[in-house]
Structure 1
Amino acid sequence: MITEVALAQDSNCVAIATKEDYDTKIADMLDHDIYLAQEYIYSNPIITCMFAQNAPQPLLFEQTRETLIDVERYKQFIDNAISRFRRSRSYKGYKAYLMCMGLDRCQILGNITTEMADIEMHHNFLTIFDIAILISQHILNTMGKITSFDLVALLIQEHRLNNIPIVMLSKTAHQTYHDNPDFYIPLSMTFGKWWDLLIKYRYGITLDIAYKVIKYIDRCQQNNELTSLEYFKLKESMESWGRYNDYASAAVLANYRNNYYGNGYLDNRVPAA
């Protein structure tokens, strides 16, 4: 809740709110290699908001951990960003790009091509919702604020960088995958450097995401698909990052004003991942 607002209203009833209460970043101050998405998000403590007549509180243009503390509101924020992303020209353009590269048929039913049925872009083992959570949590935990425009831009960017695990499936195969929680698509059939995504947005890894990655790597190991020790190192770090982020987030939410030095980083006593 805003407790102090610098009234700088203009003719459009827009004001600037800045307050230490919004500083909920949990990044380790010793970690110097953190992706901050500064090409999209300005690293300043100012939060723009709009005052409406008779409104109980101002409407913020940027979301923080505090404004998204309600699970239902956070889900609406994520769903809105995903919907905007799926309707964007960039999403359609990326799908066309993959098809031009040769991914123009179902990778489960290999005889089904785009000429015979609709081929859909499937996010393997991590859903688009998981990826949106990963990115948004990382930005909230490092920059302290995010908008739906920022999240959509970052989803587009990571797809263009080929950092998303993608498999092309026919509609029937796609429905079968989502109906069967044990459906497994091998690593060799998955396009994208998803390990780079996890390392890049490590401050957004939740325990749920960590367990999904660990389960997938275990399945890959059972099928003798792992050809690098880096996968095992990634597996070992997943749960540590999930516990670090969940523990640090809980500490921030429980002690907004008591556990901070005011520089945007949690007390060094938080165990490193």
Structure 2
Amino acid sequence: MKVDLQLLLLAIGLESLVALIKSLNLFNMALTGRIPRDFGNLTFLVSLDLESNNFQGNLPKEMEHLRRLKFLDSSFNNFSGKVPSWFGFLSQRQVLNLRYNSFTGSIPSSFSNISTLDTSNLNFNSIEGQIPKVIGNLRELNLRGNNLIGSIPLSLSNASRLEILDISYNSLQGNIPEGIGNLHNMNWLSIQYNKLTGSIPFTIFNISRIEFIAFTSNSLSGSLPNGLCNGLPILEGLYLSTNKIRGNMPTSLSNYSQLQVLSLSYNDLDGPIHGEI
């Protein structure tokens, strides 16, 4: 049975509880309709979970008054319209999760104002434009499955806290910045299913904490170093298939006891595979 959010809030006495509410969890409650403007009165709210309902429309502008808000999850709904620019004024926010909705437009530049933002997950929407040039102190940036264009900003190379970067399934072009190899905290790097060209920066294969690298289905060229993965002691998955990589097979592939998946198909590699994989 679907429940109207406005009726639910009336039932719990929203107006009399405004000063008391710090956490509101509406996860998977079959709620429908739009988010009421009254949400802007929940000025003590720190955590708001709207995940897995059937909310529609955009988030009301009145929510910009939630200056204490640190956690916002609106995943798996039917939200639409542009990503609200007022998100950038919620200076305490640490987690923003908008995945699996229908948000459009570009990512507001105001996002770069949030120095406390740790996780930004906007995957599987219809967001257009380019990756923001400034991403602050993010630990996780997920923009998978949108309509992003342009190149990968060089500023990503300076995001020293970044551990998870997933910008796959977009229409990004140009080269992979050499500086990405300087992100020594990187654990998960996925740039597959784009239109990237040029060679793979060898510096990526020296990120000792990385477990997953996926560059499948681009137009990457160049060769692979013989010492591929020598600096990757915990690498579990390496996906380089469907590119234009050429040259001999790396000689060190048999040295990696943690490697579970190696995908090099549909390239121009030749020569024997050395040792056992």
Q: TM-score normalised to the size of structure 1?
A: 0.28
Q: TM-score normalised to the size of structure 2?
A: 0.28
Larger RCO: Structure 1 or Structure 2 (Cα < 8 Å, ≥ 6 residues apart)? 1
* Structure whose residues are more often helix by fraction: 1
